[in-house]
Copies of this chain bind each other. A is one copy, B any other.
Amino acid sequence: MIDKVVGGDGIDILYHLGLDTSSDLSRFSDTRFVVMGGSAERAASWAEHLRQRFAPTLKSPLSPFGKTERFTMFKVGPVISASHGIGMPSMRVLLHEMAKLMRYAGACDVVFIRVGTSGGIGSDPGTIIVSTTGMMGTLEPEYELIELGERRRYSARLDEGVAEELFCTAKRLGIPSVKGATVGTDDFYEGQGRLDGALQTSYTEEDKMKFLRKAYEAGVRNIEMEAPAFGSFCLQAGIRGAIVCCSIVNRLKGDQIESTPEQLSKFSVDAQRVVTEYIERAALNVGSPPAKKSRT
């Protein structure tokens, strides 16, 4: 049971998913993993990849469930593949409604995993970064949200047990991998210290490098746009959460993405391979939890 997730008594409309509790949600009760990626295209390619491993008898192409206006979701055996859009506000809408869906469906011991690309900090292109915690742009391991006019802070720590299993899985597959903190920002340009946005920046190349080195020293290994919101939500909801990203550029060496399209594609596939392998081993252990619980 996802017992920290609040549910109402009346009909609850999961508005952005296009589902509600007046219909039978028990078809989601066997869900054990929700994998999330940025775009609808990634959710679909993930789903197809999972279909081949977990539900080869399902017809291809798969049909999404719910509505597709905001997010695109597929169910493949014990796995839901969903898109979360760009950034923490979009991610949180999905997390709220997906957590309620899991609760209403009566799903047990579900693990949420975000799989994506990111800028590496000291991590060369192709390296898999398994996150230990989300971090704000201030390099604090928290998520901040303004609620009724007041700033509130929540720990953005990720599940240790799942992170360790994913890290070991990557090692076993021979894919270069590290564990470390992941900074999530509210902007792709100035928010990540880029100098190639549309606006005149308040900082120089030198300032940027100084900050990126400071981040590395604070244990940051990559930077993307979702980690603190994802980590804090999972922790608050009592759902084990993990983030697995590949680095597509080492920001300590430059901002330009110099890998070929073939290399970039391989990096993404490597991150998916790690997660698929982890799910496969965990799903085979039906009845026992997929990883030692590091939280109660």
Give the shortest distance, in Å, between A217 (CB) and chain B (any CB).
12
> Across the interface, which residues of B come within 8 angstroms of A207, CB to CB?
148
Contact of A149 (CB < 8 Å), options: B97, B137, B225: B137
Contact A96 B188 (CB under 8 A): yes
Most B CB contacts (10 A, CB to CB) among A40, A197, A236 go to A197
Contact A200 B89 (CB under 8 A): no
Q: How many identical chains are in the complex?
A: 2
Contact B202 A147 (CB under 8 A): yes
**A86 and B96 in contact, given A12-B196, A186-B186, A193-B147 (Cβ under 8 angstroms):** no
Q: Measured between alpha carbons, how far is A189 from B275 in the docked complex, in Å? A: 30
Annotate A144-184 by CB proximity to B: 1 below 8 A, 0 otherwise.
01111101100000000000000000000000000000000
Interface size on A, residues (CB 8 A): 62
A292: Cβ under 8 A from any B Cβ: no
Give the shortest distance, in Å, between A187 (CB) and chain B (any CB).
5
Contact B95 A198 (CB under 8 A): yes
Given A147-B202, A148-B203, 20 more contacts at CB 8 Å? A6-B199, A39-B70, A70-B86, A85-B85, A85-B87, A85-B90, A86-B90, A87-B88, A87-B89, A88-B89, A96-B189, A96-B197, A97-B198, A138-B146, A138-B151, A145-B191, A147-B193, A148-B207, A148-B211, A198-B237
A interface residues (Cβ-Cβ under 8 A, vs B): 4-6, 8, 12, 16, 38-41, 69-70, 85-90, 92-93, 95-97, 99-100, 103, 136-139, 145-149, 151-152, 185-191, 193, 196-203, 207-208, 210-211, 214, 225, 233, 236-237
